[in-house]
Amino acid sequence: MKQGFSTTSVHGGKKKEELNGSKTLPIYQTSVFTFKDLDESEAYYQHGDRYMYTRMGNPNQRALGEAVAQLEDGSDGVATSSGMSAILAAILTYVGQGDHILCNEEIYGGTSTLLEHELSRFGIETTFVDLTDELSWSKAIKKETKLLITEVITNPLLKVIDIRRVVEIARNHGIKVVVDNTFTTPYLTKPLQIGADLVVHSATKYIGGHSDVTAGVVVGHQPDINRVKEITVRYGSSLSPFEAWLGSRGLKTLALRMEKQCSNALQVANFLDAHPKVKEVYFPGLITHPHHLLATDWFGEKYGAVVSFTISDESRINEVFRGFSLIKYAPTLAGVESIVSHPETTSHRYWDEDRRIKAGITKGLIRLSVGVEDVEDIIEDLDRALNMR
């Protein structure tokens, strides 16, 4: 029976044989599993229908990976030690020495650093392109191009990528597509449904949702997901049982949190858009956003829970951060508490200055991850900080 999103969030990823009457999945806090004899051990290697060593598999890892896969309409999922390890596993599923990658130019700083400074050492070339400019990025395709990487909503300026069109063009050239769905989550969009090959999440963010877990998830279909599992095991980036359990627990309230946070974010964006000390607001829910119509078609009337904005007087940036009381400053997002960050000096600090300026990541840019607090309190705290002298 096809279940609704909230029902799947609550009940997905649990195996009856592992519950033994427990209402929730227990924490299998063990590094290894025992066998009664050589025959049972051999059956593991032949069929893989049980567990042996937690780096190679654990009920909590499986529960989280399968639960997110169910929400994404994927066949299976792999839980990894962080969002970055999820991205690495997805990339290595498709590329090797001599291959070429296309990556959206405005992407999480950690992803671009991985591509530019680590994978480049192994003969993997990356070209950063503007995926909102179809003619331009299509010209960057080479015969060695094996993979395209993008987010649905970019970090931190919240451009909306037309994933349907990107997948269509990539398919015509035999290029695999990996989509980072961290900002939007399967509550807003499911890239696998329109042809993406793998979807990755920093489960540290909305999947976990409470700023108490570091994890990643890769979801997709076989045989690709089998290769992701191999890479995760061989590179030692499997998720610990307790972290996987925390991720599964947080996932149960994903729909509730996203509903409230998306609603709050739209009201906050409208407030900031009218504030005299705010120069520009980046949020797809505003009708002035260049991708508003695409976002409405893609997400309905929910536009995510991150709002970025630039203050009019960037020399006051530290005063503004010091002025927050309810809202905390931290280099992350997606917790139940509202959080602000400064992309220039955190997530994108390793980009050179010219690249940051070209992208619009300036000193006065603030990224706000809107929480589940009463929206009036969030707005009051923003107003106080913006007017702080």
Q: How far apart are CA 209 and CA 124, in angstroms?
A: 34
Flag whether pLDDT at 17 surpasses 60.
no
pLDDT score, position 121: 95
pTM above 0.85, yes or no: yes
The stretch 343-360 carries a mean pLDDT of 77
- Active-site choice (62, 146, 176, 205): 205
* pLDDT of 149 higher than 70: yes
Chain Cα centroid distance, residue 77: 14
Q: Do 157 and 306 touch, CB atoms closer than 8 A?
A: no
Q: From CA 176, how far away is CA 173, in angstroms rounded?
A: 9
* 15 or 201, which is more confident: 201
SS (H, E, C) 128-175: EECCCCHHHHHHCCCCCEEEEEEECECCCCCCECCHHHHHHHHHHCCC
Catalytic residue among 180, 197, 224, 381: 180
Q: What is the mean pLDDT of residues 6-21?
A: 72
pLDDT value at residue 360? 79
Q: What is the pLDDT of residue 1?
A: 61
Q: Structural domains in the chain? A: 1-94+197-252 (3.40.640.10), 98-173 (3.40.640.10), 254-386 (3.90.1150.10)
**Mean pLDDT taken over the chain:** 92
Quick check: is 108 catalytic?
yes
Chain length of the chain: 389
Is 302 a catalytic site residue? no
Active site residue 55: yes
Q: What is the pLDDT of residues 36-68, one digit of tens each?
A: 999 888 888 888 778 988 999 999 999 999 999
Q: Tell me what pLDDT residue 146 has.
A: 98
Buried b (16+ CB within 10 A) or exposed e, 328-367: beeebbbbbbbbbbbbbeebbeebeeeebeebbbbebbbb
Q: Quote the tokens at residue 352.
A: 């050179």
The CB density around residue 195, as the number of other CB atoms within 10 Å, is 15
More confident residue, 2 or 108: 108
Q: Of these residues, 14, 53, 55, 384, which one is catalytic?
A: 55
**Which tops the pLDDT comparison, 190 or 359?**
190
Highest mean predicted confidence (pLDDT) among 24-28, 96-100, 105-109, 154-158:
96-100
* Contact between residue 112 and residue 128 where contact means Cβ atoms under 8 Å apart: yes
User: Is 205 among the residues known to form the active site?
Assistant: yes
Catalytic residue among 94, 108, 282, 303: 108
pLDDT in tens, 271-327: 999 999 999 999 999 999 999 999 898 888 899 999 999 999 999 999 999 999 999
In sequence order, what E strands does the chain have? Answer: 76-80, 100-104, 125-129, 145-151, 176-180, 198-202, 216-220, 278-282, 306-311, 328-329, 339-341, 365-369
Q: What is the mean pLDDT of residues 24-36?
A: 91
Is the confidence at residue 238, as pLDDT, over 90?
yes
pLDDT of residue 16: 54
pLDDT at 347 > cutoff 80: no
